[in-house]
């Protein structure tokens, strides 16, 4: 009769024939559980290389794996894993190979269930915290994350990608950035790479092709007015319409309004410490800021005129398509004749990019999705208090926002 304890562990581990649990050792002092696995006598194992059954057991080697905790006790599996001699593969002189065991992946020191647990935690908490929780070094946790992220990305299919959004996000202080490419329709991160120059778009185009995508299928590229992104997109996706993101277009005007304010506050001290009164959406102003805006708007200030120019421009996206160009022409005339140099320069910048701004009326694409993703990325970075290297940062972005299908047990 089989020991019920051994049967319990065999079933809970999901161990299948010819493997079974042969013994369990419990250490109360170390709070540790060691489970020994064996295979049935006369068991035959297929060749891990060719899958053939023309094999004999050559020898056995000791292996151990960290498993998820049982009853809050650190658990380790142990087994003498056979190496088999494959008579078919031996013809080329390399017939001896270690067999695959079902509870782990090749060359891993962890079971698949332990790795699945770690990846689930990695979506919710920093890796250093995971390492402390499970009692492992953080470098070993990162190896798990990198392996499954790279494996899942290799299987990605971009053949249906047609509308993309590109933006950069900071990885650390000192102007260190990565660029993120998002599939607008599937709302997932497609590609992350260091930098924010033309090479970013070229690298994505190569990655797109590698994953069965076609640059000719890209119909829309949403980005800011960065010359690097513009030239890169025009070269890599010549058939795509470039749409400039609303937020970045308005940002040009917000910076111009702030320049006017900073120049004017020298003669009007009441404008000091009012920067966000002019930059924030009126719906997001505090009661005190609303009161300041109401008071200052009654004065004949250059900043007030600049502010009205900015607010008027935002009405562009409420116009029907047929009135978009006439509205922009009228606003441009107003801004360039406002005798406010920063606003005039901003208007000229907008004029140079008006084709991409007006393209929104056809694409209806903005960077709102990618901006919301950037906020999640930055939140993860703050929780982790930064990342040791850019590779770790990129893997976390893919894990959180790539909607990857990880080959793991649930």
Domains with residue ranges and CATH for the chain: 4-103 (no CATH), 163-245+365-386 (3.30.420.10), 248-363 (no CATH)
Please answer whether residues 308 and 299 qualify as being in contact, where contact means their C-beta atoms are separated by less than 8 angstroms: no
Does the pLDDT at position 350 exceed 90? yes
Does the pLDDT at position 81 exceed 50? yes
For 239, the token pair is 């058939």
Span 162-180, average pLDDT:
88
Mapping DSSP to helix (H, G, I), strand (E, B) and coil, where does residue 160 land? Answer: coil
Give residue 3's Cα distance to chain centre. Answer: 48
Query: Residues 6 or more apart from 325 whose CB is under 8 A from it?
Result: 354, 358
Does the pLDDT at position 158 exceed 90? yes
For 306, the token pair is 């600049």
d(CA 380, CA 123): 9
> So what's the pLDDT on residue 107?
87
d(CA 47, CA 38): 19
Does the pLDDT at position 348 exceed 90? yes
Category of 405 on φ-ψ map: left (φ > 0), alpha (ψ -120 to 50) or beta: beta
Secondary structure element (H or E) that encloses residue 155, with its range: none
Strand stretches in 245-375, DSSP E: none
Please give the residue that has the higher pLDDT: either 27 or 118. 118
pLDDT tens column, 21-65: 999 998 888 889 999 999 998 888 988 888 888 888 889 999 999
Orientation angle between helical segments 390-401 and 138-154, nearest 10 degrees = 60
Does the pLDDT at position 1 exceed 50? no
Span 254-268, average pLDDT:
94
End-to-end, the C-alpha distance of the chain in Å comes to 32
Please tell me the pTM assigned to this model. Answer: 0.86
Mapping DSSP to helix (H, G, I), strand (E, B) and coil, where does residue 338 land? Answer: coil
d(CA 134, CA 77): 16
Q: What is the mean pLDDT of the chain?
A: 91
Four-CA torsion 153, 158, 163, 169, nearest 10 degrees: 20
DSSP calls for 362-376: HH---SHHHHHHHHH
> So what's the pLDDT on residue 165?
93
pLDDT tens column, 225-243: 989 999 999 999 999 999 9
Does the pLDDT at position 174 exceed 70? no
Query: Residues 6 or more apart from 194 whose CB is under 8 A from it?
Result: 171, 177, 178, 179, 390
Helix %, strand %, coil % of the chain (to 5): 50, 20, 30
d(CA 348, CA 354): 10
For 242, the token pair is 């470039």
């Amino acid at each position: 009769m089989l020991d019920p304890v051994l049967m319990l562990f065999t079933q809970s581990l999901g161990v299948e024939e010819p493997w079974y649990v042969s013994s369990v050792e419990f250490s109360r002092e170390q709070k540790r559980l060691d489970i020994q696995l064996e295979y049935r006598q006369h068991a035959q194992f297929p060749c891990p290389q060719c899958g053939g059954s023309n094999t004999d057991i050559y020898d056995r080697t000791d292996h151990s794996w960290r498993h998820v905790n049982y009853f809050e006790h650190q658990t380790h599996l142990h087994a003498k894993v056979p190496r088999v001699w494959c008579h078919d593969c031996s013809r080329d002189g390399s017939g001896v190979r270690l067999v695959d065991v079902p509870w782990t992946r090749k060359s891993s020191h962890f079971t698949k269930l332990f790795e699945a647990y770690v990846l689930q935690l990695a979506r919710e908490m920093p890796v250093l915290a995971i390492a402390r929780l499970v009692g492992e070094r953080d470098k070993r946790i990162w190896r798990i994350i990198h392996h499954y992220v790279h494996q899942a990305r290799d299987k990605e299919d971009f053949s249906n990608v047609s509308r993309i959004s590109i933006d950069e996000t900071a990885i650390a202080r000192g102007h260190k950035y990565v660029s993120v490419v998002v599939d607008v329709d599937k709302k997932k991160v497609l590609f992350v790479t260091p930098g924010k120059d033309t090479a970013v778009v070229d690298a994505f185009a190569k990655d797109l092709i590698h994953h069965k995508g076609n640059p000719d299928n890209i119909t829309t590229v949403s980005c800011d007015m960065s010359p690097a992104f513009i030239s890169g997109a025009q070269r890599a996706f010549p058939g795509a319409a470039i749409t400039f993101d609303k937020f970045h277009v308005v940002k040009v005007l917000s910076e111009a309004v702030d320049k006017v304010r900073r120049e004017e506050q020298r003669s009007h001290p009441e404008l000091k410490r009012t920067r966000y009164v002019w930059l924030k959406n009126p719906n997001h102003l505090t009661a005190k800021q609303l009161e300041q805006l109401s008071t200052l708007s009654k004065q004949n200030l250059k900043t007030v005129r600049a502010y009205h120019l900015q607010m008027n421009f935002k009405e562009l996206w409420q116009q029907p398509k047929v009135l978009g160009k006439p509205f922009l022409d009228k606003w441009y005339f107003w801004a360039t004749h406002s005798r406010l140099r920063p606003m005039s320069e901003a208007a000229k910048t907008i004029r140079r990019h008006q084709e991409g701004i007006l393209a929104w009326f056809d694409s209806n694409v903005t960077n709102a999705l990618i901006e919301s993703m950037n906020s999640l990325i930055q939140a993860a970075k703050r929780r982790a208090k930064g990342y040791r290297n850019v590779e770790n940062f990129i893997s976390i972005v893919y894990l959180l926002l790539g909607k990857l299908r990880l080959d793991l047990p649930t």
